[in-house]
Amino acid sequence: MPTSRRTSGYQVVVLSLLLSIGGLAIAAPAGAGTKWTVVSSGKATGSNSLANTNTEVMNPVKIEVTVTGPALVQWSMDCVKGSKVIMTKGKTTLKGAGAIKLKVAKSSNNCQLAANALNGGPGQLTLSIKSAE
C-alpha cells in the first residue's frame, strides 16, 4: 500500500507540473497586445486585378501591409528622420492572407508609403496599411 501512496503523490506532482506548463503554453504570444489601426486600404475584385493604396503616417513606431488573400504585394516607403530621408521598397508573394512588417527608422517624423497588390485569386482582395504605437 505505501507504494501506491507514493505513486499517487508522484502523479499529483507531475499533474501539477504539467498543468502549470500547459498554462504557459496557452499564454498570449508576445506582441498580441499591439493595437493596429488601418490608415489606408484599397480593394480589387477578380483574378489579376490590382489593389492600390497610399498614405502618410506621422510619428510611426510600427507599420505593416496586410492582404486578405493570395497576392503579389509591392511597397515603397520614404521615412523622414530629421533632415534624412530613408527609402525602402520591396515585393513579396503571399500564398494566402497575411501581413508584411516593414522596418521603420527609429524616431522617424513621418513615413510616406505606397503599396499595391495583384490579386492571385478569383474573389475580392483587400490591401491595408496599418500603423501601431
The contacts of residue 124 (CB under 8 Å, 6+ apart) are 43, 44, 45, 68, 69
Is the confidence at residue 13, as pLDDT, over 70?
no
Is the confidence at residue 28, as pLDDT, over 70?
no
- Note the pLDDT of residue 133: 74
Specify the pairing of strand 110-119 against strand 50-58.
antiparallel
Phi, psi of 3 (to 5 degrees): -65, -40
CB 100 within 8 A of CB 91: no
Torsion-angle region of residue 107: left (phi > 0), alpha (psi -120 to 50) or beta?
Answer: left
Where does the chain have alpha helices with state H? 2-25
The Cα angle at residue 57 between residues 52 and 38, in degrees rounded to 5 = 60
Q: Is the pTM above the cut of 0.85?
A: no
pLDDT in tens, 49-76: 999 999 999 999 999 999 999 999 999 9
Is the confidence at residue 128, as pLDDT, over 80?
yes
In the chain the domains, ranked by start, together with CATH numbers, are 36-132 (2.60.120.260)
- Note the pLDDT of residue 32: 61
pLDDT in tens, 68-123: 999 999 999 999 999 999 999 999 999 999 999 999 988 999 999 999 999 998 99
